[in-house]
């Protein structure tokens, strides 16, 4: 079955830039999406179609894609950004959604 691979954890100090990667063989052909999930809450969409930002999401959140890797970048990290982040994309058939295993972002 298709898999998306994320690092289990990323740590940054406030004000620094956090980069969370997601690797998948089908990513050159399929868009990626990113979600932020805080404890006890439902996930929130922060990036869609690799790099588009939904309304209401701060500009410090951005996304990019290069080959089999997509990256969520959080510039000027704030304490409130501490959360789990999940990438999502489709398998090569485009009919099955897959989530990455999630990355815990710790703000030191």
Partner 1 sequence: QVHLQESGPGPVKPSETLSLTCSLSGAPVFNDSLSSDYWSWIRQPAGKGLEWVGRIDTSGNTNYNPALKGRVSMSVDSSHNQLSLNLNSVTAADTALYYCARESFWSGYSHGFDYWGQGILVTVSS
For residue 35, state whether it binds partner 1 (rule: CB under 8 A): yes
The overall longest dimension of the chain from CA atoms, in Å, is: 40
The Cβ of residue 84 has, within 10 Å, a number of other Cβ atoms equal to 17
Contact 101, 6 (CB under 8 A): yes
Query: What whole-number distance in Å separates Cα of residue 10 and Cα of residue 6?
Result: 10
Q: How far is the CB of 63 from partner 1 (least distance, A)?
A: 11
64-83 residues in contact with partner 1 (CB under 8 A) are none
Choose, by CB under 8 A, the member of 7, 12, 21, 45 that binds partner 1: 45
Binding site for partner 1 (CB under 8 A): 1, 31, 33, 35, 37, 42-45, 47-49, 52, 54, 86, 88, 95-102
């Amino acid at each position: 079955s298709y898999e998306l691979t994320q690092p289990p954890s990323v740590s940054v100090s406030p004000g620094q830039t956090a980069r969370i990667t997601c690797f998948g063989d089908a990513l050159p052909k399929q868009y990626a999406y990113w979600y932020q999930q805080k404890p006890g809450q439902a996930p929130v969409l922060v990036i869609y179609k690799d790099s588009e930002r939904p309304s209401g999401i701060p500009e410090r959140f951005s996304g990019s894609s290069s080959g089999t890797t997509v990256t969520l970048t959080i510039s000027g990290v704030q304490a409130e950004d501490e959360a789990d982040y999940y990438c999502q994309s489709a398998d090569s058939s485009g009919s099955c959604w897959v989530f990455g295993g999630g990355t815990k972002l710790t703000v030191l």
